[in-house]
Structure 1
Amino acid sequence: MAEMNMLHAINEALVIAMEADDKMLVFGEDVGHFGGVFRATSGLQDKFGKSRCFNTPLTEQGIAGFANGLASNGMTPVAEIQFADYIFPAFDQIVNETAKFRYRSGNEFDVGGVTFRTPYGGGIAGGHYHSQSPEAYFTGTPGLKVVIPRNAAQAKGLLLASIRDPNPVIFFEPKRLYRASVGEVPEGDYEIELGKAEVIREGSDITLLAWGAQMEVIEQAADLAKKEGISCEVIDLRTLAPWDIDTVAASVKKTGRLLVSHEAPLTGGFAGEIAATIQQECFLYLESPISRVCGLDTPYPLIHEKEYMPDALKNFEAIKASIKF
């Protein structure tokens, strides 16, 4: 084990994957000698050369299209979209080409080797063009996997699994935790299975579900609830597509209550899909309506960021309301 932050863990995962696979390329805006805006790719160009780690023009659609072309020819492209807010110009390539390439060729061709890395979420005073959480836009697209880690150790294992998965993966990295999340990370090569949620705290009264940076928030809310005698089961979803229905449903059948929290706006957020599925799976076990504590249905506000964020206190109040229902 070695202590490192999330950026270091991601960088180490990229190094390990590139050493093991000489067909792997890393590219994006400023990822070469500059190491990217957050320095996640620092040192890769020096270690592997400009032919395997290089800058692209400032065109997200071009980055995604180039990644599709490389992957269709047997390469392992890991493309960085500098901010998740700027993934929208690449949306057509990702949802209409990346996700459907294998299907429309009748499994004759695929781009399963492609991974898109992108920092997402708020909490850094980035304003409305550097703070969005667009994960739900991609969960409704068959053919894509969507993965979000909560800390450094998870980031390393999940990223290695994503790069090696035979399906296209969008790997959202919580930028607020890049340097804030420091912890013990296993040394060497390891993978964390995609599609599996993790119960990180067992409880009996209510299930709390989140992913990415929001995990820290619901753990804080669970601590506040504990002082009130409320026992919270805390689950990190980790993979949103495909998501682990069985683990969440088993927890809700035990606790009888569910709260889902994410930074993205409430309307159309992935919490809605979870709530619909869990009420179908667990209807006769529910003791109260499923709660959603999410961002506001507004553009991400710079000056009102604290009011926008679904923080620990908002989650704590929702927990109490669910228990008292």
Structure 2
Amino acid sequence: MREITYLEAVREAMSEQMRENPDVYIMGEDIGIYGGGFGVTRGMYEEFGGERVRNTPISEAAISGAAIGSAITGMRPIFELQFSDFITIALDNIVNQAGKIRYMYGGKAQIPLVMRTPGGSGTGAAAQHSQSLENFTAHIPGLKVIQPSTAYDAKGLLHSAIEDNNPVMFYEHKLCYKTTSDVPEGKYLIPIGVADIKREGTDISIVATGIMVHKALEAAEILAKEGINIEVVDPRTLVPLDKETIVKSVMKTGRAIVVTEAVKRSGFSAELASVIAESESFDFLDAPIVRLAGKEIPIPYQPELEKLAVPQVDDIVEAARNMMKKH
């Protein structure tokens, strides 16, 4: 199997869907000849033309509204927000239209659209271009929310998202774009709502999302040299959430650390922790659940301050060591 980047995997999934289904198209800012802000759509304009790789005005409200309207009529749009921070401008359409129309119309109208957007810190893009706002959409009934951490997951889940008849929010971490993994050629589907055990372990379950999966795996390698055996659980999709896999993992290890980049206050880390606390795995816990998440500050521009604002490998290692020492 060949190894490709996360960015290439996302592009492959979109291209394969567009070759297979003429109703699939992509729209967004600078996605045409320029190839997108991060180069994800590079080469797609040349293959599919301007009708199906559509440059839009700089208006997230207009992009989301047009995507929803075309989805209602039977098209399958993918709309790219250049930075996930800009979802705030499109939230009315996403929350009050995309998330509710199918329910309000008794299933007679469907919204088969995908919103793709890069999020997260680590690139020096500062406070308005580095946030992790996936919990905004995870809170809304009617929306599915996907946050893949690997190229393999990104391709398989994006295929599933495009073929789903519901609106799907697809969050891509900027630092994941250059990561690589083995990815099959051609189309394959990963079911939405199925978590993945990225590393088997017996001492502590680390439930991590997005780029934090990579940091958790790096921490696990360090801790393994100290005799601490870490299991890394990647939910992959926030909504629907595979609670069963998380609960089973914690029941096996008896300890849980939740790691997300988003701000800790009211973040998705609290949802993950509550899944554990409210399940049968609570009785198996040998230590309190620990949450590692972003500081309650805007993301700084200065590189060292930016790192301090979100969990790093050393933070995960320290939390795991402390958990094993105390219990």
The letter of the residue matching 2:128 is Y
* 1:231 counterpart residue number: 229
Q: Which residue in the other structure is 2:249 paired with?
A: 251
Q: For residue 42 of structure 1, report the CA deviation from its aligned partner.
A: 1.3
Partners of 1:28 and 1:188 in 2: how far apart?
25
1:285 Cα offset (Å): 1.0
* 2:289 matches 1:290: yes
Q: Secondary structure in 2 aligned to 1:62?
A: helix
Structure 1 gaps, min length 5: none
Match of 1:262 in 2: 260
1:96-154 deviations in whole A, cap 9, x for unaligned?
1101010111111121x100000011111111111110011111111111101112121
Secondary structure of the residue aligned to 1:87 is helix
Spell out, residue by residue over 1:243-302, the C-alpha distance to the aligned partner (whole angstroms, 9 max, x if none).
Answer: 100000001111111111011111011010111121110221111111111110111111
**Alignment match, 2:135:** 136
Deviation at 1:204, TM superposition (A): 1.0
Q: Give the Cα–Cα distance (whole angstroms) in 1 for the partners of residues 229 and 48 of structure 2.
A: 50
The Cα offsets for residues 146-182 of structure 1, whole Å up to 9 and x where unpaired, read as 1011121211111111111121100001111212x02
Tell me, in whole angstroms, the C-alpha distance in 2 between the residues paired with 1:65 and 1:321: 49
- Give the match's secondary structure for 1:41: coil
Match of 1:146 in 2: 145
One-letter amino acid of the structure 2 residue matched with residue 130 of structure 1:
H
Secondary structure of the structure 2 residue equivalent to 1:208: strand
Using structure 2 for the length normalisation, give the TM-score.
0.97
Equivalent position amino acid for 2:200 in 1:
E
Match of 1:216 among 202, 214, 235: 214
Between the aligned partners of 1:203 and 1:177, the Cα distance in structure 2 is 24
CA distance in 1, matches of 2:216, 2:153: 17
5+ residue gaps, structure 2, are none
- What are the within-5 Å matches in structure 2 for residues 1-325 of structure 1? 1-111=1-111, 113-179=112-178, 181-281=179-279, 282-303=281-302, 304-325=305-326
Deviation at 1:184, TM superposition (A): 2.1
Match of 2:78, SS state, is strand
How many Å apart are 1:4 and its aligned residue?
1.6
Deviations 1:25-60 (A, max 9, x none): 100001111111111111212211211111011000
- What is the CA distance between 1:242 and its match in structure 2? 0.9
Q: Percent identical across equivalent pairs?
A: 41
Can you list the C-alpha shifts for 1:165-212, whole angstroms capped at 9, x where unaligned? 121100001111212x02321111111111000012111111011121
Distance 2:181 2:108 in 1: 43
How big is the alpha-carbon RMSD for the aligned residues of Structure 1 and Structure 2? 1.0
Return the alpha-carbon distance in structure 2 between the equivalents of residues 184 and 10 of structure 1: 13
**Whole-angstrom CA distance in 2 between matches of 1:247 and 1:35:** 38
**SS of alignment partner, residue 122 of structure 1:** coil
TM-score w.r.t. the length of structure 1 is 0.97
Q: Secondary structure at the match of 2:121?
A: coil
- 2 CA distance for matches of 1:280 and 1:322? 21
How many residues are treated as equivalent by the alignment? 323
